[in-house]
């Protein structure tokens, strides 16, 4: 039995001499394990493509009898590229950032069942670059990361913030920006304001205000929190195609406290520990 699927290669490892064992994130936001024969580039047939992380491809798969780490396992019979990046591979910062995007996508996506792959038509769609949830965010993040390199406009901190915020909201764990999580008073947009967000409280899914923070004797760096609050607020309303309009200082991401705070928030919401993420160590 065969099925046509389309997805992004979110992880890969060498297998045998010329093959690749990879995870493909499908349009429906679920992943599958696929064996790509000659995925490392064939010697005999020079036309065979070497598959790289972040490539977006179409393939026909069949169910394999092999079970790998308890996952159902498919074989790709043939494949073609729908989209691929060129600049990302040549820029070490962009490449590391892409690895972070892929690892986050890998961690939060569920594994598709064989039944759904073989019986549902939702996996394959002609709607170019559109998909569900995590697929949608990831395909946009990769496409516009490449775009920022073409335009000589790479900003790792900006791209990370946009990605993590979009991912949180699409996965249903968006941050309450409207009101203080404790006193429920509204944050006012007027600056200077008497009531502002001073701490992100992961357990409560939002920020607490300066007044509650004083009452509860919560220590916080106000400027860092105002930056974080503003970044989230901007990222929520910024469409991916307008990524360059997001005002984030183009500095080293290791200096970006907002990035770390939001990554910790992400880990808390999905019950991950930071140490589980190998790629994040290359950012800070």
Q: Which is nearer to Zn ion, 25 or 209 (CB)?
A: 209
Q: Which is nearer to Zn ion, 27 or 199 (CB)?
A: 199
Q: Which is nearer to Zn ion, 44 or 219 (CB)?
A: 219
Closest distance of CB 196 from Zn ion, Å: 10
Q: Does residue 261 bind Zn ion (CB under 5 A)?
A: no
Residues 206-225 that bind Zn ion (CB under 5 A): 209, 212
Closest distance of CB 234 from Zn ion, Å: 22
Interface with Zn ion: number of residues (CB under 5 A): 5
Q: Which is nearer to Zn ion, 50 or 186 (CB)?
A: 186
Closest distance of CB 219 from Zn ion, Å: 16
Pattern 165-184, Zn ion, x by CB under 5 A = ---------------x-xx-
Q: Which is nearer to Zn ion, 134 or 197 (CB)?
A: 197
The three-state (H, E, C) secondary structure of the chain, written as one string = CEEEEEEEEEEEEEECCCEEEEEEEECCCEEEEEEECCCECCCCCCCCCECCCCCEEEEEEEECCCCECCECEEEEEEEEEEECCCCHHHCHHHHHHHHHHHHHHHHHCEECCHHHHHHCCCCCCCCCCCCCHHHHHHHHHHHHHHHHHHCCCCCHHHHHHHHHHHHHHHCCCCCECCECCCCCCECCCCCCCCCCEEEEEHHHCEEEEHHHHHHCCCCCCHHHHHHHHHHHHHHHHCCHHHHHHCCCCCCCHHHCHHHHHHHHHHHHHHCCCHHHCCHHHHCC
Residues near Zn ion (CB under 5 A): 180, 182-183, 209, 212
């Amino acid at each position: 039995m065969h099925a046509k699927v389309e997805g992004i290669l979110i992880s890969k490892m060498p297998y045998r001499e010329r093959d690749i064992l990879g995870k493909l994130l499908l349009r429906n936001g679920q992943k599958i394990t696929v064996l790509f024969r000659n995925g490392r580039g064939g010697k005999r047939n020079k036309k065979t493509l070497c598959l790289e992380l972040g490539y977006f491809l179409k393939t026909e798969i069949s169910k394999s009898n092999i079970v790998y780490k308890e996952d159902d396992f498919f074989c790709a019979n043939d494949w073609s590229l729908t989209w691929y990046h060129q600049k990302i591979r040549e820029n070490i910062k962009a490449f590391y950032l892409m690895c972070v995007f892929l690892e986050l996508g890998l961690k939060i996506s569920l594994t598709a069942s064989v039944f759904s792959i073989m019986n549902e038509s939702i996996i394959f769609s002609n709607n170019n670059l559109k998909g569900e949830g995590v697929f949608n965010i990831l395909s946009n993040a990769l496409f516009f990361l490449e775009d920022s390199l073409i335009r000589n406009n790479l900003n790792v901190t900006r791209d990370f913030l946009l990605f993590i915020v979009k991912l949180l909201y699409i996965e249903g764990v968006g941050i309450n920006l409207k009101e203080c999580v404790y006193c429920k008073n509204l944050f006012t947009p007027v600056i200077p304001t008497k009531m502002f967000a001073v701490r992100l409280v992961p357990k409560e899914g939002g920020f607490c205000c300066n007044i509650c923070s004083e009452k509860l004797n919560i220590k916080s760096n106000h400027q860092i929190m105002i930056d974080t609050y503003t970044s989230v607020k901007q990222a929520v309303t910024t469409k991916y195609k307008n990524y360059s309009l997001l005002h984030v200082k183009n500095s080293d991401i290791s200096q970006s406290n907002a990035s770390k705070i939001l990554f910790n928030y992400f880990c808390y919401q999905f019950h991950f520990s930071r140490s589980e993420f190998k790629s994040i160590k290359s950012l800070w």
